[in-house]
Amino acid sequence: MANYKSARQRKNNQKNLPLFRELQKKIGIQFENEQLLFQAFTHSSYVNEHRRRSYEDNERLEFLGDAVLELTISQFLFQKYPTMSEGELTKLRAAIVCEPSLVQFANKLSFGSLVLLGKGEEMTGGRTRPALLADVFEAFVGALFLDRGMESVYHFLENVVYPKINDGAFSHVMDYKSQLQEFIQRDGTGVIEYKVMHEKGPAHNREFISTVALDGEALGVGVGRSKKEAEQKAAQEALNKLKGM
């Protein structure tokens, strides 16, 4: 009976098979178990309309993919930004794995055209609904992890997600020191050094003057009520100078 259901399910998926084959070719990854790939794109509304058939929705894969994304993105950021604090890493990771970002990744691969939806969900625009697309992206990552392992997940993210990080797409959530570090790493290599050049005033009203240099060459000066504020302003000035602002 199970084999009969599996065969019938494969037959029902034939109409979408060319699209899934095209996706695999596009990302350079071939699934060994294509049923996992189909499941990643199967919405619960589709399952509800086909209760007599052995379809399974993508919610469990979504759960797994969410965890895999958290780990892989965390590892990438940990290695890319060796001086970034835990709080900064957490904030940056949150911006990368949030719904709007996942939707962008899903749209880049036209995931919306592959989703199996119920008629009601289809009629109400489910194919372009942000929450649905974000869930599908996570489900796909979960399916890829189960089918091909973590190395294939890394390969996929290296082509779809990591370039966006390297291009500074999420710099808006980073502080100026982190943005400066990212800018330097993107355009080359070098050692960034901050120094407090001067501090004055009473303890309750202290003022600090800090500089930032790249391989010994001064790039910016900042003044603040704390060392951190002064360094942030120095980094901001350095960024403006490097970007020709």
Active-site residue list: 66, 138
Tokens at residue 13, please?
């998926």
Q: What element of type H or E holds 179?
A: helix 176-187
Sheet architecture: strand order including 217-224: 192-200, 207-214, 217-224
Neighbours of 238 (CB within 10 A): 26
Residue 224, phi then psi, degrees to nearest 5: -155, 170
24: Cβ–Cβ under 8 A, 6 or more apart, which residues?
Answer: 30, 31, 37
CB 58 within 8 A of CB 116: no
**Euclidean distance between CA atoms 127 and 120, whole angstroms:** 11
**Euclidean distance between CA atoms 58 and 44, whole angstroms:** 7
